[in-house]
Amino acid sequence: MTLERTEELALNLGPQHPSMHGVFRMVAHFDGEIITKIDPKIGYLHRGLEKLAESRTYAQFIPYTDRLDYLAAPHNNMAYVQAVEKLANIQIPERAEYLRVIFAELARIASHLVFIGSLALDMAGWTAWGYCFRDRERILDLFEMTAGSRLTVNAMRIGGFSQEVPDEFWPALKSFLDDLPEMLEEYQGIFYGNEIAMGRMKSVGILTKEDAANFSTTGPVLRASGVKHDLRKDAPYGIYDRFEFDVPVLYGCDSYDRGLIRLLEIKESAKIIRQAMRDIPEGPIMAKVPKVLKPPVGEVYHAVENPKGELGFYLVSDGSTKPARLRIRSATFINIQLLPAISPGWKIQDVIAIFATLDAVLGEVDK
Amino acid sequence: MFGKGLFKGLHISLKRMLGPNVTEYYPEQKPNLPPRVRSSMGLDPDKCISCGICANTCPNKVITLTSEKGDNNKKVLKTYQMDVGRCLFCGLCTEACPTSALTVTQQYENAVYDADELQWDMIKRHRHQTGKEG
Amino acid sequence: MDALNKLPLNIAAAIRGLFGDPHSIWADLTMTVIGIVLVIVLIVLAALILILLERKIGGWASQRPGPNRLGPRGWFQTIADALKLLGKEDVTPAEADRFIFKIAPMIVFALPMMTLAVIPFGMGMVPIDLDLGIMYYLAISAISTLALLMAGWGSNSNYSMLGGMRAVAQMISYEIPLIFSLLGVVMITQTFSLSKIVEAQSTIPFVVIQPIAFVIYFIAGIAEVNRAPFDLVEADQEIVAGPFTEYTGLRWGLFFLGEYGNMTAVAALITTMFLGGWQGPGFLPGIVWFFLKVGIIIFLMMWIRWTFPRMRIDHLMGLAWKVLLPLSLLNILLTGLGIYIYQYVLRIGG
Ligand code: SF4
Ligand code: SF4
């Protein structure tokens, strides 16, 4: 008996689909439940940020960077302002550096919480999602009381930090960090430790070390495939070389490890924040920066490790007040290219999980 | 043992089910926003010196203002328009304002039915608000 | 208490008394109609309450209050939702197979009605007392597979199609352990009649004698009614809403009613087969005991739904064929051995 091939089914997932993050769209081709081909379509959220930058002054572009990876806005701010500072050769005060680190790591925790929540939600783990967002709320409160906004924080300025943190900030931060282990245990209990979730993610969506490297993947996705690469350690920016922390690396190469590594990274971020809280000096938070900033002619590339991977800004200055060219190297734009490569052969449910573990934020993909 | 995780999960969700809620009953219970929250803009026309720095700082050309020469050659604010539909609520303008005439406010119920209502006449709004308060 | 227990019977007798001959065909007919109407009312009421309860439990589990606007603490929310559904436009996709598309929700809604009709709700309170009650129940509940396939096929949409196919694969697989798990009880009681099975549990509910069968039936029952973690049929993160994707308004509402009706029916059967049905300590009337037990089972189902992620389809199949089926066969074997030993001991003793 020969096996008859059945007709392939094409299914359109997105841009409005319950499982899609943001406005990502993919056309999935099936043979039964098995994916044969994935055709990702991006660009639904394209706002032309790179071009917009050319008509804004250096300082004016900071609020736009908030809208790249809107789950971790401080990282985008930081990458951009550090790039400009590199270009214009500005030294910033110590206290501002520490505040930047605290904010960036808080944003990393917040972003990973969203990740865990939406990974659970993509497998119908509604309750786990609720818990993650409940706890993320406390980080957003911290952002809100300092910078005045929850998502589009706009906290950093060229030459320092926008505002001194209020008095309530430190106790609130401390209590959050104290409660963090308990929260992580809860996620472990309700989601990561759940046999059904394990069954859905273990040994699924294998991304080999070679593939990961060849696709120039960065961030947790790469580290879950056994490559120890973290810009905070490998090319320290700001004052990251002063902190002691580990870079978690997992060797499973599957969806589960890509999920779990975020949980481990949250712990490391908490370590960094604790050290920063201990060491932060008193002092000013803004350097002397000319009102009208005209960086010397030249170009610079500066990259930071944002929660999703390497976020880089390439800036070209022609000596005027506006950048001549800005290019954003966003992590998820590159990580998302993995989807068509690793999905075929897995079931549709697995692909939803794989996509969730790539942690795409469409603001950053489409720019 | 297989199944341990399942029971752990059930235990957690039951504990939360019996525990207190963490949400806010929104329209009845208004959130208490910290004073730095940028959810609206407010202008005090008496403080404004019509320098136009705010309009220049704004990345999105939200602000347009006109002024006229008053007595002893001081500029007096005549109109102050904000096209809030385009506002990023980034706060760069309020940061730049030398006299703190333009400030962020914590009024967050800004939804309107008509796009035209997003053209805020800041002087009128100020009068309206102070009138209500006084 | 006995009087309360017998009250429904007395009312029934009184109604029958209205006819000249209490056992004439007209009296029987009237009683059947009344029974059916009561079952319909029960299903609609159950759906209204359960939908709200589901949302409340989902809310509480993630530390929210759930619906809280309409009526005291939001308890009227489902009524408003139902009214809203009534007012929605009824869309039939242009490419749909109209007849199949339209009839599927009706079948889904009718099934729990037919299954609940044979459940003994209280002493002597069986809308229709069939000698082959279990057989009938299983046969009817199996039809829902067909209805979901019809909805999936008739909608002519890929999401629906996948959902319908999943429904067939899943429900047929789970039907087998489901039926086998009930066999143990049947072997002990030597009857297919649900009311006789309830009577046989007057001293001890069968969950004590048949714990394996209870667990198997509970799991397979959840899979039968497509509830999380086995809700692959309407897995919204994958196939939007499976077979229901293209439905709107009242038709969609019928699916919803049917779904919750099915859930009630499964819970009612579990109560009848394993938890002693309406039997319970005498301080509450039988019907209250019955609904209490049904409520507990339903709460368990909801609790599980709001805790677990969805299973993968191959694990789902594996669970049915590799775990539940052998276990249920083992259970039959053990039950047979137990009966044999029991009879042997009886013979020795006597
Ligand atoms: S908040 Fe930002 S976008 Fe809005 S008016 Fe001020 S500077 Fe312009
Ligand atoms: S910057 Fe301040 S003072 Fe100057 S025009 Fe704007 S609001 Fe008025």
Closest-CA residue, ligand 1 atom 8, reads B58
Q: Give ligand 2 pocket residues (Cβ under 6 A).
A: B 48-54, 65, 97-99, 101-102
Would an 8 Å CB–CB cutoff place C229 in contact with chain A? yes
Would an 8 Å CB–CB cutoff place C349 in contact with chain A? no
The Cα angle at residue A335 between residues A334 and A339, in degrees rounded to 5: 115
Helix or strand holding residue B66 (H, E): strand B63-69
| Residue C124 predicted with pLDDT over 70 | no
Q: What residues 81-120 of chain B have any CB closer than 8 A to a CB of chain A?
A: 88-92, 95, 104
Residue B13 C-alpha, separation from nearest chain A C-alpha, in angstroms:
8
* CA C92/CA C155 separation, integer angstroms: 8
| Cβ-Cβ contacts under 8 Å, A129 against chain C | 62
* Residue B35 confidence (pLDDT): 84
Comparing CB atoms, the residue among C63, C231, C313 nearest residue A124 is C231
For residue C121, the number of C-alpha atoms closer than 13 Å in the C-beta half-sphere is 20
| Residue A1 predicted with pLDDT over 60 | no
* Residue A252 confidence (pLDDT): 80
Beta bridge partners of B6: none
Q: What residues 292-331 of chain C have any CB closer than 8 A to a CB of chain B?
A: 303-304, 306-308
For a pLDDT cut of 90, what percent of chain A falls above it?
A: 1
* CA A70/CA B88 separation, integer angstroms: 13
| Cβ-Cβ contacts under 8 Å, C310 against chain A | 123-124, 196, 200, 349
ipTM of the complex: 0.81
Q: Which amino acid is at B7?
A: F
Atom of ligand 2 nearest to the CA of B52: 5
Closest CA to C170 of C312, C331, C299, C326: C312
Contact C62 A129 (CB under 8 A): yes
Contact B23 C307 (CB under 8 A): no
C-beta separation of A306 from A289 below 8 A: no
Residue entry with tokens 């989807």: A339
Residue A147 C-alpha, separation from nearest chain B C-alpha, in angstroms:
7
Would an 8 Å CB–CB cutoff place C282 in contact with chain B? no
* CA C11/CA C17 separation, integer angstroms: 10
* CA A286/CA A160 separation, integer angstroms: 4
Residue A307 C-alpha, separation from nearest chain C C-alpha, in angstroms:
24
Comparing CB atoms, the residue among A146, A166, A194 nearest residue B9 is A194
CB contacts < 8 A, A to C, total 88
Task: Work out the average pLDDT over C46-53.
Answer: 84
* CA A286/CA A283 separation, integer angstroms: 9
* Residue C6 confidence (pLDDT): 66
Give 3-state DSSP helix, strand, coil % of chain B, rounded to 5.
35, 20, 45
| Residue A124 predicted with pLDDT over 70 | yes
Task: Work out the average pLDDT over A163-188.
Answer: 87
Which pTM was predicted? 0.86
* Residue A165 confidence (pLDDT): 85
* Residue A68 confidence (pLDDT): 85
Beta bridge partners of A272: none
* Residue B134 confidence (pLDDT): 40
Q: A319 by DSSP, 3-state: which?
A: coil
Q: Which chains touch A (3 or more CB pairs under 8 A)?
A: B, C
Compute φ and ψ for A315, nearest 5 degrees. -120, 135
DSSP one-letter code for A286? B
* CA C200/CA C191 separation, integer angstroms: 10
Per-residue pLDDT of A305-362, as tens digits, reads 888 888 889 988 888 888 888 888 888 888 888 888 888 888 888 888 888 888 888 8
Please state, rounded to an integer, the average pLDDT across all residues of chain C.
81
* CA C69/CA C118 separation, integer angstroms: 38
C-beta separation of C262 from C111 below 8 A: yes
Beta bridge partners of B65: B80
Would an 8 Å CB–CB cutoff place B8 in contact with chain C? no
Residue entry with tokens 């649900």: C194
Per-residue pLDDT of A14-70, as tens digits, reads 777 776 777 788 888 888 778 888 888 888 888 888 888 888 888 888 888 888 888
Strands, E assignment, A49-105: none
* CA C25/CA C47 separation, integer angstroms: 33
* CA C216/CA C69 separation, integer angstroms: 39
| Residue C8 predicted with pLDDT over 80 | no
Would an 8 Å CB–CB cutoff place C46 in contact with chain A? no
Least trusted range by pLDDT, from A145-159, A163-177, B117-131, C50-64: B117-131
Task: Work out the average pLDDT over C304-317.
Answer: 84
| Residue B104 predicted with pLDDT over 50 | yes
| Residue C225 predicted with pLDDT over 80 | yes
| Residue A6 predicted with pLDDT over 80 | no
Residue C236 C-alpha, separation from nearest chain A C-alpha, in angstroms:
6
Q: C168 by DSSP, 3-state: which?
A: helix
* Residue C86 confidence (pLDDT): 83
Helix or strand holding residue C150 (H, E): helix C133-154
